[in-house]
Structure 1
């Protein structure tokens, strides 16, 4: 079996054990369990080392009071257990221990239970260590309540040694004399309860992990929805401060676009078809806004508004808006050709100071205000079909890098007579080669 087949087999095995978790959540859960087990094993080893040190010091103290009570062989056994636990702690921090904490757990458990059994065997009989066994099994279940098969293996290993050694030595009668049936039944149910406790805890952790994964998934969905409504910086500020958000920007560029004759076209076509077409067009504009690093503000009917230079300031916001306008013209021409529809756009651009912020307490919207915005809207509404109409301020900023045609002074509602220009292209620009698939 090659490595890929082996990994696939293991993944299927885990999926059977944890059917409620998706493959990605299962991977995260197993990583969490490994980390949790290592943290708790660290604590268990430290407690074991300190505990055995206290036993040794107590025996030494009692031996200093009554020298005849000190058993040198027991002291050697206790020191061997202490050294074994210390070795497990060192192994725990090694590369092997980080990859296989379950084996370190077995080493920790058997350091206490089996070394004592080996010591007793050396003295002639492996006695049932009721106090050491139950204390170790209870401590394991309380401190490291995951992977119950490892707990079961640690218990079976001790009992297998106990019965196996005494059978080999022919000491079944002495064994039976030390423990009656009630004590064996007590040990059996003690182990069952410990393992059941570990199993139930891990099931609870799996359920909590699944709930947290679902909660995280919903949070991510909510986050994406919020970012579809508000710019990322504004959304973050709104979540943290819960107050009215309004900022002055000394310079920004605003673009308004409107599909010419869309209302008339929609009256002669099924509503579903026109909504689908509008969605395709505006989805392409969204893609272009993202590509140029601009912020879409809103759509109203068949009108589209985008801004450059906020909420994150940039010095080339006007150039980005101009490139966006030219790409929008190209996209709508491609769309018209592919759908055999006479779509055209009026686009208006202006640059200058604006006020931006979030209004309302429900259905938040990030919007712009100011004379710059109003004038950009007038550039679109007073423009020509298929043209990109801009103000004098835009022309002065871009005239050395872009091509323009002057329309002279024309009357603008609410503004009087204004000199306006039509943006026709970029100087020294290469011919367009983008395919029709640009419109998504």
Structure 2
């Protein structure tokens, strides 16, 4: 479990550095958070603009109603109209590329359209100015509630408002018209409103960011566990196991199984260090894994220095025998290339058999997808009774390959538990095809 209270980026880097394959690196995750925050910001800015428009209409209606003089009605209408038009412009910009690129400017514009624009209008119309802290408080609390992101932007909007007011006050009201206690009281209300708004936004976004990275870390961890599961089980079987955690077993009427054994590897282990031995085996089996993926073959397991795979399951296919034959021929070429590049002299003995199998997952721990049946046993015997450097196939496989591949009859061999069996050696692909 990822601890959201520790360093988010460090944890994600650690997950990625441990070999996790995922679409996003830590830097991309950071970008994703910024994109998510920007999308959130734009949606909330539109919502705030709508609220300001509705609130403005109610205030304009109220002032038009309470002002008995025509001049007062005109002033109220002018001030309200300026704010409404400015707000409408900001709302429209939110839906344009400019708004998507510069949402911070729209945030400040929305704030100052209510706080600064009103002060400027009053100063110009009445040549006088008094604090409108109730309007400022309402605006800042609204923004902190609706748009609780980027605390520094809230701080800039507040500082801009007070700077605008002080500048206008010096220009239009150099003499205090109210007792100093009045201004101190207004200043204290304004100060604590700003502090509470900025601090609450800071705490909210900090929590939101931690939750975002914790969620992404959990997604990465889940993806890693799924990738590990898919390295053990076929994708279809893994999905079945997640949905129904019970014994999984299926009958397949015809598949082709391959066993490959590295000749001489056991002798090599007696005079080679364990680390070097495992490295060699891992390199070879990784080559086989790539071939299995290329030919649509399902790797089943490795047993020591033996490699087992099957074609025709869990997704049934009619070309299972050619797929295994092509893979077997490529395995021979891969070993030859490996020997040349690593100064080795390995050869592989391959056995192939075609027929019905039972496939499934059993047990409670260390799940493994495995095969059972005579087809598996015969493929194993084809390998163990085969010739080093050759690909031996049974009669059933021969019948499926004989028209498109070159096969040489080896003859009858004694197979444990089966008696005498006719076998063939796969040489290559027929030139007629």
Bin the TM-score by the shorter chain. 0.7 to 0.9
Please state whether the residue corresponding to 1:324 is helix, strand or coil. helix
Residue 59 of structure 1 deviates from its aligned partner by 4.7
Residue 70 of structure 1 deviates from its aligned partner by 7.3
Residue 85 of structure 1 deviates from its aligned partner by 1.9
Which residue does the alignment assign to 1:102?
A: 104
Which residue does the alignment assign to 2:327?
A: 324
Bigger Cα displacement from structure 2, 344-353 vs 18-27: 18-27
Which residue does the alignment assign to 1:377?
A: 380
C-alpha contact 1:260 1:345 (8 A) present in aligned 2: yes
TM-score by length of structure 1 reads 0.86
Residue 220 of structure 1 deviates from its aligned partner by 2.5
C-alpha contact 2:255 2:313 (8 A) present in aligned 1: yes
C-alpha contact 1:125 1:171 (8 A) present in aligned 2: no
Which residue does the alignment assign to 2:73?
A: 71
Please state whether the residue corresponding to 1:71 is helix, strand or coil. helix
Which residue does the alignment assign to 1:437?
A: none
Can you give the 5+ residue segments of structure 1 that lack an aligned partner in the other structure? Answer: 1-17, 431-440
Matches of 1:208 and 1:349 in 2, distance apart?
Answer: 53
Matches of 2:363 and 2:175 in 1, distance apart?
Answer: 84
**1:252 is the counterpart of 2:240:** no
Residue 57 of structure 1 deviates from its aligned partner by 4.1
The 1:126–1:248 alpha-carbon spacing in structure 2 relative to 1, beyond 3 Å, is farther
Of 235, 238, 243, the residue aligned with 2:238 is: 235
**1:217 is the counterpart of 2:220:** yes
C-alpha contact 1:120 1:127 (8 A) present in aligned 2: no
The 5 Å alignment of 1:228-377 reads: 228-377=231-380
Matches of 1:398 and 1:277 in 2, distance apart?
Answer: 32
The 5 Å alignment of 1:95-134 reads: 95-121=97-123, 122-134=125-137
Matches of 2:181 and 2:74 in 1, distance apart?
Answer: 24
- Aligned pair count? 411
Matches of 2:201 and 2:175 in 1, distance apart?
Answer: 33
Matches of 2:266 and 2:221 in 1, distance apart?
Answer: 38
Please state whether the residue corresponding to 2:423 is helix, strand or coil. strand
Which residue does the alignment assign to 1:90?
A: 92
TM-score by length of structure 2 reads 0.87
CA RMSD of aligned residues (A): 2.6
The 5 Å alignment of 1:107-256 reads: 107-121=109-123, 122-174=125-177, 179-256=182-259
Which residue does the alignment assign to 1:435?
A: none
C-alpha contact 2:259 2:379 (8 A) present in aligned 1: yes
Bigger Cα displacement from structure 2, 414-423 vs 334-343: 334-343
Residue 422 of structure 1 deviates from its aligned partner by 0.6
Of 1, 26, 33, the residue aligned with 2:30 is: 26
Matches of 1:231 and 1:175 in 2, distance apart?
Answer: 81
Residue 264 of structure 1 deviates from its aligned partner by 2.9
Please state whether the residue corresponding to 1:174 is helix, strand or coil. coil
Bigger Cα displacement from structure 2, 377-386 vs 294-303: 377-386
Matches of 1:112 and 1:270 in 2, distance apart?
Answer: 78
Residue 23 of structure 1 deviates from its aligned partner by 2.5
Matches of 1:117 and 1:315 in 2, distance apart?
Answer: 81
